[in-house]
Structure 1
Amino acid sequence: MVKNLLDCPGKFEETATMSEIDAIDRRILALLQKQGRISNAELAARVHLSPSACHRRVQRLEETGVISDYVALLDARALRRQTTVFVEITLSGQSDEVLDGFERSVRAIPDVLECHLMAGTADYLLKIVVEDTDDFARIHRQHLSRLPGVAQMHSSFALRTVFRTTAIPVQP
């Protein structure tokens, strides 16, 4: 096993490497990504294992951090968060203090789904879900405009989501 950095700075956890994950593990992972509430008995039947062997494998995948959590995927439209906005942010500097301050502050904005440190024209790319342009204006005024170290911001509104998945490819 190798040590992998989690998204919490300074926190490490042992994680299985892909070489330690066999074909049965990959089938388990693929099924759980699509049907997280599948029963162990059904999962075992679908991967051709006994329920106890399947349960042990799932536990191992959880304990090693390959399976980090189980979540419910919500319908953004049903929650009136049907508009996705991508915000490119350029910072005024690249020092650790500027980057850390920005990252700490952006984590506190509940509307931000994702924040990525980028290589390219922007320093960060945010994915935000909002009700409409007025809602984005509120978030911009209350949160985004107050982020530390921001030199420039460009926002793009998604017209339509063509494809979306949360499933990470698990094939070798």
Structure 2
Amino acid sequence: MLDDIDRRLLRHYQHDASLGPADLADLAGLTPATCARRLEKLQAQGVIRANRAVIDWRALGYEVAVSLRVTLDKTQPRAFDDFMQAARQVPDVVEIQTFLGRVDVRLSIIARDMAHYQQVYRSAILTLPHIADIEALMHVAQIKSDEVLPL
């Protein structure tokens, strides 16, 4: 379980994981050695899963984001496994989520423009196995995207 020191450390760390141990320790009110030990422990426990760069895909020329809600043909015993294996191979699919309910899978796709999206949709998405139904939702605006937890 997390104690108050871990929560304080994580509260600062999640806002800026690029802080050095000394700066993070100062913000969290810890010594650098204690801070480093606590971070290592949190990583070993799987609380901190990764440090990563968050890249603005629009800055790289991707202007179109689409969510595809997919219903699979569940009469096929390998529908989920076959679909997931194939969907993971599509480079323009940046996220795959599964659900319980009418929609089985949501694919997040990015494309440079509508022509690129149509090419991806026709050549890579429609060829995925066991699709019974598919609905496209065009992203208009991203209102909130925050991985910060209320610690």
- The whole-number CA distance in structure 1 between the counterparts of 2:5 and 2:112 is 41
Structure 2, gaps ≥5 residues long: none
Partner of 2:3: 22
Preserved CA contact (<8 Å) 2:86 2:129 = yes
Partner of 1:111: 92
What displacement does 1:88 show? 0.3
Partner of 1:5: none
Alignment of 1:1-12 (within 5 A): none
- The whole-number CA distance in structure 2 between the counterparts of 1:107 and 1:34 is 30
- Larger RCO of the pair (alpha carbons < 8 Å, separation 6+): 2
Aligned residues: 151
- The whole-number CA distance in structure 1 between the counterparts of 2:13 and 2:64 is 28
Query: Equivalent residue of 1:166, what SS?
Result: coil
Of 34, 38, 46, which aligns to 1:53? 34
Aligned-CA RMSD value = 1.6
Structure 1, gaps ≥5 residues long: 1-19
Alignment of 1:30-109 (within 5 A): 30-93=11-74, 97-109=78-90
- The whole-number CA distance in structure 1 between the counterparts of 2:117 and 2:101 is 25
Overall identity of the aligned pairs, in %: 28
Normalising by structure 2, what TM-score? 0.91
- Write out the 4+ residue segments of structure 1 that deviate beyond 3 Å after TM superposition: none
- The whole-number CA distance in structure 2 between the counterparts of 1:60 and 1:96 is 42
- The whole-number CA distance in structure 2 between the counterparts of 1:119 and 1:95 is 17
- Which stretch of structure 1 is more off in the superposition, 93-102 or 47-56? 93-102
**Over residues 79-137 of structure 1, what are the superposed CA-to-partner deviations in whole Å (9 max), with x where a residue is unaligned?**
11232211000101166521111111111112212111112321111112222211111
Normalising by structure 1, what TM-score? 0.81
